[in-house]
Amino acid sequence: MPGHRILKRYLQADAISDIPRNMFSWKKVVETYSELETELPLLLARIDPSQPKSRDDLRKEYACTTAPERYYRDAMTVGLGSMFLAILQQYDLESKDQKAIEKLAQFYSKRSARKFQDFSVAAKKLPELILTINTQLQITQDVLSRSKPRGTESDGHKVVDAGPFRVVNTGNFSVEVMTIAGKVAQEAARRLSSKGLGKVCYGDILVSNRLNRKKEILAFYLPGKDEMFIRADLKGHEHDALDTLVHELGHRLYAKFLGGHQRSLVHTMYRRIQDGHNGSKREAIQDLLNDPSTKPKAGDVLVDPKKNVELMVTNLSFDYKGEGKVHLTFKDDPKSVGQTSISLEGWYQHKGIKLDLAKVGGFVSHYASTDPEENFAEMVSAYCMGKLHPSQVEMLEEIIK
């Protein structure tokens, strides 16, 4: 990717960005383009269609026409690509101010800006561009003037600095609890940064005792408020918590940084994997059927865990789609009219035999099959943890790079 895309190096934004210097340089850039706007009426007044244009007029026309392209390049040069992300890291922002800075961060995260089609378009659109960038500058100045830089709390277990995150104690938890949460958060930031996704690592992670009634919920993200939570009782579950936190930050990536086209690609990717998953499932089941040691045979026994009843295989059948069923009867009374059946997938699941889906790139987990966004978050987690199937790495990078 082009070197000016500093967003990819979000975790280093503190080191890259000098916010006062960035603001000073940005102001100078905006002044330069504002001067161009003042020259526009004079240039329009001098143009006589019946006369050839002077070299100076042609140069100024070119400057007006290419203004969006050049402004964006100049903005990257003075460090706006990382400055807004650094503001999110370094300042305690009110909700409305955070949203405003996030919006600016997204604006300056695109690859480039297109120049105006020609000078006639530039004559109409240049004032709008100048108004936009002056408004952006004013908004940023106002936010900085009323916001306080983040400070480290004197009581070390109230707030733990974890790289770009602040891990916040919301329940008077012990130093040990906060230290573990901080290490998980810092490792999540490192993993995401190593894949160029550090831009999602900012703000507070709130440590809470009760994210959800289900104890397996180790982290949670609220996209509406852009709030991230992590459980307090992580000891012994650090690896699972890391997986979950990266997954939840994948939701932030989807909610805050993906545009409409990228989101449509997320849905397309889900359908592609779903088709491949169904095919890989059939292939994996066929592999097990081809192995005499794992193929269900008449007389094999299955225990119904709910009723604690032993069932015995009578035969296999396949429908027109090729989906297999295992037909069962009661072992103690094989001649009983009470019979049931179970899918081949269900049979292998009850037997504790896992289908080998990874080799053909199915869903990375059962949860990933829930919906396109959950699949995306699960893939981001697997990608950052080095567990994503190579066939899916290319699909994911097409969206996130």
The number of helix segments (H) and strand segments (E) in the chain equals: 13, 11
Position 111 scores a pLDDT of: 60
Token duo for residue 33: 């383009």
**How many other CB atoms are there within 10 angstroms of residue 38's CB atom?**
9
Rounded-to-integer distance, Cα 391 and Cα 345, Å: 24
- Specify the pTM: 0.50
Q: Are 327 and 341 in contact (CB under 8 A)?
A: yes
Position 117 scores a pLDDT of: 81
Provide CATH code, domain 159-257.
Answer: 3.30.2010
Token duo for residue 255: 């909610």
Token duo for residue 52: 């050839």
Position 357 scores a pLDDT of: 55
Q: What is the mean pLDDT of each run of 10 residues along the chain (401 residues)?
A: 34 58 91 83 68 77 85 87 81 86 85 77 86 93 86 59 91 87 96 95 85 65 88 90 96 95 94 74 78 88 77 85 82 67 84 66 83 96 93 92 84
Position 345 scores a pLDDT of: 80
Position 306 scores a pLDDT of: 67
Instruction: Please report, for residues 98, 148, 179, 199, 393, the alpha-carbon distance to residue 81 in angstroms, rounded to integers and kept in the order given.
Output: 16, 22, 32, 11, 26
Position 148 scores a pLDDT of: 81
Rounded-to-integer distance, Cα 328 and Cα 301, Å: 9
Position 197 scores a pLDDT of: 95
